Amino acid sequence: MDVDLNASTIIGVLLLLLLLLVVVAVFRSVIKVQQGYQVVVERLGRYHSVLQPGLHFLVPFFDAVRQRIDMREQVVPFPPQPVITSDNINVSIDTVIYYQVTNAYSATYEIADPMTGIEQLAVTTLRNIIGTMDMEQALTGRDRINDQLRSVLDDATGRWGIRVSRVELKAIDPPATVQGAMEQQMKAERDRRAAILTAEGIKQSQILTAEGEKQSAILKAEGQAQATVLKAQGESRAILQVFDAIHKGNADPKLLSYEYIKTLPQIANSQSSKLWIVPTELTAALDAVQKGFGGGRSSGGDEPGPTGPTGVDFENAADVADVLKETTLPDIDSALADARGEANRAVDDARGSVSDPTQIPKN
């Protein structure tokens, strides 16, 4: 009886252990792969498969997970690395690398530590690139450095199942002494540009000022010219009105002679007067004035011409007035010149006809 009880107990314990072992095996054979990851599975120590995202079953005691790999793009910052430029200046460069695993098998079996390999390769490549540049080229050629570094890393990591998408230089820090000299150089460059801009501004201001003065002088000269023309036109119109009034009023020669005598003091006091009337020639000058209006008697005894009611010849006065009204400014100037010439000739004739001042005829 006791023997049967012990056998039943042993069998129950064994069955319980077997059931527990089956549960553990089933639990371990079920694997769930998250999105963005891949799982490398080995069977009996050898590569078997790469599990994609989803639910998978493994053979208990035969299959084992070797590595779970993140297939998303990774961002890895590297610590500052000291490098030397071609002009023997030590600079410190911080880099950031963007990479992504494209082949889980190669990333597992082709390299033991991908991150260490990428870091060391980036440092050596960066030193080679910076070694061919001077300090100024390194500071201004970041894009070229990034492209060259990314190209070298991408080619080297391709067989590891890794793709380097981007490489960025976070900072390029020169030594403190070089940085101070660079700041002084940049300050001098800014001062030079400011001086150039100031000089350009002064130049443009002077040009605009000179242009304004030029336009002002031109407008002033044009205004003076127009004023002179208008003044001459006004004087010519006044002459025409006086002439027309004399013609219509049929003026007496004695009145004209009297008005002429009244203007003699003004002519004498004028600074622009060129003709001086000698008292002994006064009657001859009056005869010349009378002759200019076509009336009176000549001193030489010539026959008198046709006269008006007051003795003044206005036979062709209307025609002369019409001609003067149509005369332009240049014609008026020439007419005034001709009139001055006629007056001078009349005075000369008067002087020649009177040899003795006592022979001047009296009215």
Domain boundaries, the chain: 30-70, 72-174
Q: DSSP of 156-213, one letter per residue?
A: HHGGGTEEEEEEEEEEEE--HHHHHHHHHHHHHHHHHHHHHHHHHHHHHHHHHHHHHH
Instruction: Please give the model's pTM, rounded to 2 decimal places.
Output: 0.47
CA quadruple 192, 198, 204, 205: dihedral, nearest 10: -160
**CATH 3.40.50.20 holds for 72-174:** no
Residue written as tokens 């007056």?
Answer: 343
Tokens read off for 12: 């129950």
| Residues 6+ positions from 29 with CB-CB distance below 8 Å | 57, 58, 59, 60, 63
Which amino acid makes up residue 280? T
* ∠ Cα 332 336 340 (to 5°): 170
Phi, psi of 289 (to 5 degrees): -65, -45
Q: What is the pLDDT of residues 65-118, one digit of tens each?
A: 999 999 999 999 988 888 988 888 888 898 999 999 999 999 999 988 888 889
Q: What pLDDT was estimated at residue 337?
A: 61
Q: What pLDDT was estimated at residue 253?
A: 62
Distance CA(138)–CA(143), nearest Å, equals 10
Give the range among 38-42, 172-176, 214-218 with minimum mean pLDDT. 172-176
Tokens read off for 220: 């002033």
Q: What pLDDT was estimated at residue 50?
A: 93
Q: What pLDDT was estimated at residue 342?
A: 60
